[in-house]
Amino acid sequence: MAVLAEGERARAAGAAEWLKRRQAVLAALQEALGPLELGLGARALSAEVVSRHEREHYRIENVLFEAGEGWQVNASLFLPKGDGPFPAVVQPCGHSAKWSRHYQVPAQVLARCGYACILFDAPWFGEKAALNDHYRNGYPCYLVGIWPERFFVLDALRAVDYLATRADIDMSRGVGMTGVSGGGFTTMIAGLLDERIACVAPACFSASLKGLTIADFYSPDAETVAPGHIGLGFDYIDWWAAMAPKPCLLMGGSLDEVFTEERVREVAAEMARIYTLLGFPERFRLFMDRSGHTYTFNMALECVRFLDCWLGGGQARELRLRPEEIEPEPPEALRCYPDVRANMFSLARSRAQKLARSRGRAAADVVAKLLGLSGRTLAAPQARVLEISQRWQHALEKLVVESEPGIPVPGLLLRRLLPGSPAPALLYLDEAGKWHALRRGGFLARAAGFLEESRIPGEAIVLSADVRGFGELLPQPSEYDLAPWCDVQCTVAGLGIGLGEPLLGMQVRDALACLQYLRSRENVRGDCILVGGRGSGAVVALHAAFLARWQGVEVAGVLCRGMPVCLAELVREFPQEWGYGLVIPSALAHYDLPELAQALAPIPIAVVNPLDARRRPVAAEVAAALYGLRGGQPHLALVCGLEEREEEEWALRWLAGVVGQA
Rounded to whole angstroms, the Cα distance separating 635 from 603 reads: 6
pLDDT tens-digit map of 617-652: 999 999 999 998 766 678 999 999 999 999 999 999
Q: Describe the strand order of the beta sheet including 58-68 as a list of residue ranges.
A: 48-54, 58-68, 71-80, 116-120, 88-92, 175-180, 197-203, 248-253, 284-289
pLDDT tens-digit map of 84-126: 899 999 999 999 999 999 999 999 999 999 999 999 999 999 9
More confident residue, 375 or 50: 50
More confident residue, 406 or 333: 333
Strand-pair category, 58-68 with 71-80: antiparallel
Tell me what pLDDT residue 4 has: 53
More confident residue, 553 or 312: 553
Rounded to whole angstroms, the Cα distance separating 89 from 609 reads: 55
Tell me what pLDDT residue 590 has: 97
Strand-pair category, 88-92 with 175-180: parallel
User: By percentage, how much of the chain surpasses pLDDT 70?
Assistant: 96
- CATH fold, domain 359-661, is Rossmann fold (3.40.50)
Once rounded to an integer, what is the mean pLDDT over residues 52-67?
Answer: 96
Give 2-351's CATH code, choosing from 1.10.1060.10, 3.40.50.1820, 1.20.1560.10, 3.40.640.10. Answer: 3.40.50.1820
Closest among 149, 131, 133 to 227, alpha carbons compared:
149
| Coil, helix or strand at residue 295 | coil
Tell me what pLDDT residue 376 has: 73
The answer on pLDDT for 234 being more than 80 is yes
| Residue 509 neighbours by CB distance under 10 Å | 25
DSSP state of 421: S
Same fold, 2-351 and 359-661: yes
Count of alpha carbons within 13 Å of 591, Cβ hemisphere only? 22
Once rounded to an integer, what is the mean pLDDT over residues 204-221?
Answer: 88
Closest among 473, 478, 507 to 491, alpha carbons compared:
478
User: By percentage, how much of the chain surpasses pLDDT 90?
Assistant: 82
Query: What does the DSSP assignment read for 73-129?
Result: EEEEEEEESSS--B-EEEEE--SS-TTSHHHHHHHHHHHHTT-EEEEEPPTTSGGG-
For residue 514, give the amino acid letter: C
Tell me what pLDDT residue 1 has: 45
The answer on pLDDT for 232 being more than 70 is yes
More confident residue, 546 or 312: 546
Residues 6+ apart with CB under 8 A from 389: 395, 396, 398
Tell me what pLDDT residue 661 has: 84
Residues 6+ apart with CB under 8 A from 359: 588, 589, 590, 591, 592, 595
| Coil, helix or strand at residue 405 | coil
Q: For the chain, give every domain's residue range.
A: 2-351, 359-661
Question: Furthest-apart CA pair in the chain: how many Å?
Answer: 95
Tell me what pLDDT residue 8 has: 57
pLDDT tens-digit map of 149-169: 999 999 999 999 999 999 999
Q: What sign results for the dihedral spanned by CA atoms 124, 125, 128, 129?
A: positive
Residues 6+ apart with CB under 8 A from 26: 192, 193, 242
Tell me what pLDDT residue 421 has: 87
pLDDT tens-digit map of 405-443: 889 999 999 999 977 789 999 999 999 999 999 999 999
pLDDT tens-digit map of 1-15: 444 555 556 656 678
Question: In this structure, are residues 410 and 510 in contact, taking their beta carbons and an 8 Å threshold?
Answer: no
Residues 6+ apart with CB under 8 A from 288: 251, 252, 253, 254, 261, 264, 265
Tell me what pLDDT residue 41 has: 55
DSSP state of 169: B
Rounded to whole angstroms, the Cα distance separating 361 from 369 reads: 16
Length of the chain: 662
Angle (nearest 5°) at CA 506 between 501 and 510: 155
* 116 phi and psi angles, rounded to 5 deg: -75, 135
Tell me what pLDDT residue 315 has: 63
For residue 488, give the amino acid letter: V
Q: What is the mean pLDDT of the chain?
A: 93
Residue 377: exposure state from Cβ atoms within 10 A (0-12, 13-18, ≥19):
exposed
**Confidence category of residue 318, pLDDT binned at 50, 70, 90:** confident
Rounded to whole angstroms, the Cα distance separating 201 from 178 reads: 5
